[in-house]
Structure 1
Amino acid sequence: MRAVGIILAGGNNHRMKELSNKRAIAAMPIAGSYRSIDFALSNMTNSGVQKVAVLTQYNARSLNEHLSSSKWWNFGRKQGGMFVFTPTITKENSFWYQGTADAIYQNLDFLKRCHEPYVIIASGDGVYKLDYNKVLEYHIQKKADITVVCKELPSTEDVTRFGVLKMNEDCRIEEFEEKPMVSNSNIVSTGIYVIRRRQLIELVERCAQEDRYDFVKDILIRYKNLKRIYGYKMQDYWSNIAAVDSYYRTNMDFLKPEVRNYFFHQYPDIYSKVDDLPPAKYNPGSEVRNSLVSAGCIINGTVENSILFKKVFVGENCVIKNSIILNDVYLGDNTHIENCIVESRDTIRANSYHVGEDDIKIVIEKNERYVL
């Protein structure tokens, strides 16, 4: 693969509400056993990208722990590998990353030391499979300066939290608007870009000289009439999880057989850090219907249309419906959870009742289970 990878995983989003209080969005649990960043990393290694930089910043502790060993994504190699970069105080700079372009600029030495002619930039909050080789071939065929991977969303989808674009018949991008109030297009940027390495260095350095910090606003939108910027349409499943309703819907999509088959049973695979846990245990009297139950769970109650992440304990006579229970949650006896997301490492007291009426309810019990 003639490209080096950059994964932007340092962002925060108020649309995630309390879910991003203690973790980066790229570290959000997905589909029982994965983290959001696993999809971008797996796509990199499956496409033959041998050198990947992950740029982290906001609430990076759990994300850095997850990335502590690169072997899970086959980046444990003598040449290349995975590099995790956090903001660093230097003689010239003492700022955190002030935007996506600034994050790349502060790690520009990494790009300058590389020899690959192209760079693949991806965000850490997308759930998808993509062969980046096909995007690179398209990029070269079109003689593009920048290629933006885009996706056409259903007309019912809210596109105002994405970058919305319009292309001509040759797929050249003519209009690009970031998070518009109103949009008459439903083609959105997926946050995946291909660009020549030397050109990226030149554009990012120019942004820094002009005190510009954002890759989309200060490079894509600013240069859309000066550079040859093309769109590559993705046809398969793609979802961005950077909002509570989208995060909930993306996880629930894995209850659909076709989505599970696409991600779990079709080549190429999605990889993640593996925990040594026993298989889920279903005690007498438990009942589970149309749900994903991860390793380490113990079920004593009823679980329906839900996703249980690792090490969840469900007490006697519990009822869980249409909910997501994150890692290491203890649900006391006679608890009723419906249309909720329960934060990880929570202890829900016995006889609790939590139901999301009009929207998805985030359940956070502020109690201390782990005492020093």
Structure 2
Amino acid sequence: MRIPRTLALILAGGKGSRLGALTEKKVKPALPVAGTYRLVDIALSNLVHSHISDVWVVQQYLPFSLNQHLANGRPWDLDRTHGGLQVLPPYEGTEDEGFADGNADSIYRQKDLIRDFAPDLVLVLSADHLYTLNFLDVIGTHLEKGADLTMVTTVVDEDASRYGVVQADDDGRVTGFDYKPEQPRGHLVTGEMFLYDAQQLLEALDVLHEQEGQLEDYGNDLVPWFVAHRTVVEHRLDGYWMDLGTVQSYWTAHLQVLDGDGVTLDDPGWPILSAQPQLVPARIDGSAAVHRSMVAAGSTVRGTVEHSVLGPRVVVEEGAVVRHSVLLDGVRVAAGATLENVVADMGAEIPAGQYGGPGAVTLIDETGAVSATEEFDRSARLPGGF
């Protein structure tokens, strides 16, 4: 199959407000995943393995840490003379200047650049999800079905009201779409990966902007317009998919990786690529005990760590206990501290005491204070045993 000229747009400008303290000082795509990765690595790695090398990252909120990590695309071999990775920040000077009001508006503000690039297809991704997908298969579905829009879909067991809910017939034709409905019609949802015919996308953006004056999120205007006026089909993702939009889902995804029930990060044929920190190996000192855990480089463990993920430069002192927890870069757990079902933000200094417990996830902010506690949503996917 000849690969059509495909432009990938990664929308990496959202605040991720449901993640609380985790995204107060960093954009969600820069969040650590499994210790040494960043969330944006998932989208970039899937694109590179799918032989899509024209990638634009649309930024807005707190871009500095993300730009540091992107390193001009070098970790993914996207630092190219022709094509490769391009970063698109907000700008002034034209009619499309300023900050976007949603992801559809973000695309609209790049319409002139897209038109000049002249792609056949535009693949729009959010950098908020864990999954493995060959986008060449999505392109194949798109061409085979003669679609104007092909959306990647997946089935969730939980309450689907926080997703875009899709209705489709037996042939894969999308017949209905409801964005975050109060009463979802089924459990088939969009994975927020959309493959558009480029000319149809540009036309839709112009028509909607003329009609409404201002675009917002894709679910409010862009996708419903395509479902109503164009040929829209689904490409079903049957493998693992998780939206890391809440503290519980962020915690859950990490424990599922530990248990072998989550996304595969170390497949030799499809590895997740990243700008790894250059650090000495982790140290396990003295009477330390580590069970069923991932401990990143630069960390030191002198206490007990069970069923947890430790990021780079984490220190667990002797006499500290960490269970079923996710500790981000540079967290220090003092002697006498016990953590259970905890997510600790970067650089947190956690003094002695009891943190967290069964039935909920506790978020600790960078000051070492408890920022939020979320009781388990039993309708959502949880790790085995919880």
TM-score range, shorter chain: over 0.9
CA–CA distance in 2 between the matches of 1:249 and 1:18? 17
Residues 327-367 of structure 1, C-alpha deviations (whole Å, 9 max, x = no match): 01112222111111111011122x23212454211112527
Equivalent of 2:107 in 104, 109, 131: 104
Aligned partner of 1:304 in structure 2 is 306
Measured at CA, do residues 266 and 151 of structure 1 come closer, stay the same or move farther in structure 2, by a change above 3 Å?
Answer: farther
Find out whether 1:235 has 2:277 as its counterpart: no
Aligned partner of 1:221 in structure 2 is 224
CA–CA distance in 1 between the matches of 2:163 and 2:28? 16
CA–CA distance in 1 between the matches of 2:227 and 2:267? 39
Residues 85-114 of structure 1, C-alpha deviations (whole Å, 9 max, x = no match): 111122434431111121112122321222
Aligned partner of 1:313 in structure 2 is 315
Residues 26-61 of structure 1, C-alpha deviations (whole Å, 9 max, x = no match): 111111111111000111111111210011112222
Residues 173-209 of structure 1, C-alpha deviations (whole Å, 9 max, x = no match): 1111011112230011000011111221111122222
Aligned partner of 2:201 in structure 1 is 200
Aligned length: 363
Find out whether 1:141 has 2:141 as its counterpart: no
Contact kept, 8 Å, 1:101 with 1:207, in 2: the verdict is no
CA–CA distance in 2 between the matches of 1:303 and 1:244? 21
| Aligned pairs for 1:118-133 within 5 A | 118-133=121-136
Aligned partner of 2:188 in structure 1 is 187
CA–CA distance in 1 between the matches of 2:366 and 2:155? 39
Equivalent of 1:247 in 243, 250, 269: 250
CA–CA distance in 2 between the matches of 1:259 and 1:219? 31
Shift in Å, 1:224: 1.1
Aligned partner of 2:62 in structure 1 is 59
Measured at CA, do residues 91 and 124 of structure 1 come closer, stay the same or move farther in structure 2, by a change above 3 Å?
Answer: same
Contact kept, 8 Å, 2:36 with 2:277, in 1: the verdict is no
Aligned partner of 2:365 in structure 1 is 364
CA–CA distance in 2 between the matches of 1:98 and 1:5? 20
Contact kept, 8 Å, 2:97 with 2:109, in 1: the verdict is no
TM-score, structure 1 normalization: 0.94
The one-letter amino acid paired with 2:265 is F
Gaps of 5+ in 1: 368-372
The one-letter amino acid paired with 1:62 is S
Helix, strand or coil: the match of 2:65? helix
CA–CA distance in 1 between the matches of 2:283 and 2:16? 36
Helix, strand or coil: the match of 1:353? strand
Aligned partner of 1:347 in structure 2 is 349
The one-letter amino acid paired with 2:284 is Y
The one-letter amino acid paired with 1:333 is A
Find out whether 1:35 has 2:38 as its counterpart: yes
Aligned partner of 2:293 in structure 1 is 291
CA–CA distance in 2 between the matches of 1:327 and 1:245? 19
Shift in Å, 1:172: 0.8
CA–CA distance in 2 between the matches of 1:207 and 1:95? 19
The one-letter amino acid paired with 2:314 is V
Shift in Å, 1:258: 5.4
Contact kept, 8 Å, 1:146 with 1:228, in 2: the verdict is yes
Contact kept, 8 Å, 1:284 with 1:300, in 2: the verdict is yes
Contact kept, 8 Å, 2:27 with 2:63, in 1: the verdict is yes
Find out whether 1:7 has 2:5 as its counterpart: no
Shift in Å, 1:158: 2.3
Helix, strand or coil: the match of 2:142? helix
CA–CA distance in 2 between the matches of 1:103 and 1:128? 23
CA–CA distance in 2 between the matches of 1:118 and 1:79? 18
The one-letter amino acid paired with 2:193 is I
Aligned partner of 1:268 in structure 2 is 270
Aligned partner of 1:177 in structure 2 is 178
Residues 240-264 of structure 1, C-alpha deviations (whole Å, 9 max, x = no match): 101111111111111123547x321
Equivalent of 1:322 in 299, 302, 324: 324
Identity %: 29
Across the aligned residues of Structure 1 and Structure 2, the Cα RMSD in angstroms comes to: 1.6
Aligned partner of 1:256 in structure 2 is 259
Gaps of 5+ in 2: 369-386
CA–CA distance in 2 between the matches of 1:207 and 1:89? 22
CA–CA distance in 2 between the matches of 1:237 and 1:96? 33
Aligned partner of 2:21 in structure 1 is 18
Residues 204-258 of structure 1, C-alpha deviations (whole Å, 9 max, x = no match): 1222223241322212113312211111100111111011111111111111235
Equivalent of 1:333 in 335, 340, 345: 335
CA–CA distance in 2 between the matches of 1:127 and 1:243? 13
Helix, strand or coil: the match of 2:15? coil
User: Which 4+ stretches in 1 moved above 4 angstroms?
Assistant: none
The one-letter amino acid paired with 2:40 is I
Helix, strand or coil: the match of 2:322? strand
The one-letter amino acid paired with 1:309 is G
Measured at CA, do residues 13 and 55 of structure 1 come closer, stay the same or move farther in structure 2, by a change above 3 Å?
Answer: same
Contact kept, 8 Å, 1:339 with 1:355, in 2: the verdict is yes
